[in-house]
Structure 1
Amino acid sequence: MSRVVSFLMCCVLVAITANFAYARSLDEILSTGVLKVGTTGDYKPFSFNNAGNYEGFDIAVAKSFASKLGVKLELIKTSWPTLMGDLKEGKYDIGMSGITRTVTRQKEARFSQGYVMFGKTPLVAASNAEKYASLADIDQKGVKIGVNPGGTNEKFVKANIHNAEVILYESNLAIPEAVAAQEVDVMITDSVEALYYAAIDAKLSAPLADKPFTRAELGYLMSAGAERLQDTVNFMMDQMILKGEMATLKKEYLHMAE
């Protein structure tokens, strides 16, 4: 009987251990000479896969982190549905892709300090800007909403949209194009992204960006056990703020002034 109990206890311990996120320590990152950053590549202006070359605000910050640490940067492709799973499997050290700081994610991992405040807001065709003046105007039968699965945009839509038709797009990058072509009426997204697309495409508008439906912050995602890495990331972010580097990148990529 004792052998059976011991075997069962071992099985339980293995199962519990499997559920913990694997974290490379800061020392391991430094000793291997490589910082692995997970990014989706589908969220302008933070992370954009441009024909195999990643661009955007978070990519620029990731390069700065690697330079400060004296290591090479390796960008790891992840996705919104697999974001947490890839982190737990140790595929990357830091998630940097315009990731919202949420309690749900914090329960399983840890975040850096916030670096951009934003809220959920609609991106619509410029010709329909006055038509959608509230969430109630959007949640109507006959309205089509484009959403990318696996992230906080989909979570917001599921919680707040009951009458409009929801159309899933595997690529987040395809939705603004669909709105501009009026294949869908609305994209619910972060105000930073909505303002970015409205600034670069005259066919698009973000009419409610100054009064978003929610308030939140973006942060950089790390494993639950990566305490020293988190401290170091926060320290590097503070240094970038003090030296004006963060403000320069926000102006260049986000069209934001500090």
Structure 2
Amino acid sequence: MNRMLLVLAALAVTGAAHARTLDQIKKSGTVTIATEGAFKPFNYFEGKKLTGFEVELAEAIAKQMGLKVKWVTQPFDSLLIGLSQNRYDFVIASHGITPEREKAVSFTSPHYCTGGLIVARPGGPKTGAALAGKTVAVQVGTTYLENVQKVKGVGDVKTYPKDPDAQQALLAGRVDAWVSDKFLALDAIKATAGKLQQGDLLFQEKIGMAVAKNNPTLVTGLNSALAAVQKDGTYAKISQKYFGQDIRCK
């Protein structure tokens, strides 16, 4: 059992019997949301300001629900642990919806669809088959790690605390390839001006907001608010700002 599965198993046992319900959150007037803050363009800091697609989307959802927002940022692989300890109400941090994670937390409807893109330096591996015997960089605790480990014949899989660390390992030549979110990777490829090249999409996934188990009213409330901002054009406006396209699941 790998580290992620151990963490998820612990979360499933811990549970979240005292998570705040939607009514309790509305009564307080403020929803506490957690994210990583190091996953550009989804959630990241510009100086001291937390911003990004998911940050703006979550704030639009909260506004739709009539709530103010309090943000919490912490490392990606501890976000779901904090959720199980009721340190915040929900998490929006590009978590892929997987059967393993669904044993530990509840997910909202997907707020975007993406996949794991292979990135390499010019001449490097660009397909799943080409990863055989190669060293691949991924962020710890992610679905990228899980899916790269499933590739037949893959060589060493190196994990890094943050995704930019994995990218830098590739740029520095310490690894042969990097697998990350499609949109994040495309942004990085564009920013490096020819130093990195796009490979194949290794897998596809749906991304959702995570809510503590046994808190169905909050899931319902978030789903309703997400649908509302998608219908009134707010979602499309935010998505166009960061990606030049609408990234909702089709």
Q: Are 1:204 and 2:200 an aligned pair?
A: no
- Secondary structure, aligned partner of 1:219: strand
Please state how far the C-alpha of 1:181 moved relative to its aligned partner. Answer: 3.4
Q: Give 1:213's aligned amino acid.
A: L
Q: Are 1:52 and 2:44 an aligned pair?
A: no
Q: Are 1:232 and 2:228 an aligned pair?
A: no
Give the equivalent residue in structure 1 for 2:7.
none
**Map 1:81-160 → 2, pairs under 5 A:** 81-125=77-121, 127-128=122-123, 131-140=124-133, 143-160=134-151
Matched length: 234
- Secondary structure, aligned partner of 2:208: strand
TM-score for the superposition, normalised by structure 1:
0.83
Query: Is the contact made by 1:78 and 1:86 (CA closer than 8 Å) also made in structure 2?
Result: no
In structure 1, how many angstroms separate the alpha carbons of the residues matched to 2:111 and 2:62? 18
Q: Structure 1, residues 193-213: CA drift from partner, whole Å, max 9, x if none?
A: 2222223332222232xxx22
Identity of aligned residues (%): 21
Please state how far the C-alpha of 1:227 moved relative to its aligned partner. Answer: 1.0
Q: Give 1:217's aligned amino acid.
A: K
* RMSD of aligned Cα (Å): 2.1
Q: Give 2:227's aligned amino acid.
A: D
Q: Structure 1, residues 212-252: CA drift from partner, whole Å, max 9, x if none?
A: 22221011111112211111111111111111111111111
In structure 2, how many angstroms separate the alpha carbons of the residues matched to 1:164 and 1:204? 20
Give the equivalent residue in structure 1 for 2:175.
184
In structure 2, how many angstroms separate the alpha carbons of the residues matched to 1:180 and 1:78? 25
Please state how far the C-alpha of 1:132 moved relative to its aligned partner. Answer: 2.0
Query: Is the contact made by 2:136 and 2:158 (CA closer than 8 Å) also made in structure 1?
Result: yes
Query: Is the contact made by 2:65 and 2:225 (CA closer than 8 Å) also made in structure 1?
Result: no
Q: Structure 1, residues 69-98: CA drift from partner, whole Å, max 9, x if none?
A: 333211112333222211110011111011
Please state how far the C-alpha of 1:161 moved relative to its aligned partner. Answer: 6.1
Q: Are 1:19 and 2:8 an aligned pair?
A: no
- Secondary structure, aligned partner of 1:91: coil
Tell me: CA distance 1:18–1:194, structure 2 relative to 1, closer, same or farther (3 Å): closer
Query: Is the contact made by 1:43 and 1:172 (CA closer than 8 Å) also made in structure 2?
Result: yes
Tell me: CA distance 1:161–1:41, structure 2 relative to 1, closer, same or farther (3 Å): farther
Please state how far the C-alpha of 1:257 moved relative to its aligned partner. Answer: 3.7
Q: Give 1:256's aligned amino acid.
A: Q
Unmatched 5+ stretches in structure 1: 1-16
Unmatched 5+ stretches in structure 2: 1-11
In structure 1, how many angstroms separate the alpha carbons of the residues matched to 2:168 and 2:13? 41
Give the equivalent residue in structure 1 for 2:237.
248
In structure 1, how many angstroms separate the alpha carbons of the residues matched to 2:198 and 2:106? 31
Please state how far the C-alpha of 1:57 moved relative to its aligned partner. Answer: 0.5
Query: Is the contact made by 1:118 and 1:190 (CA closer than 8 Å) also made in structure 2?
Result: yes
TM-score for the superposition, normalised by structure 2:
0.85
Please state how far the C-alpha of 1:18 moved relative to its aligned partner. Answer: 7.0
Larger radius of gyration: 1
Please state how far the C-alpha of 1:60 moved relative to its aligned partner. Answer: 0.3
In structure 2, how many angstroms separate the alpha carbons of the residues matched to 1:152 and 1:84? 14
Q: Structure 1, residues 102-159: CA drift from partner, whole Å, max 9, x if none?
A: 111112221111122222221222x23xx4242121222xx33212211212222233
In structure 2, how many angstroms separate the alpha carbons of the residues matched to 1:159 and 1:231? 34
Tell me: CA distance 1:157–1:138, structure 2 relative to 1, closer, same or farther (3 Å): same
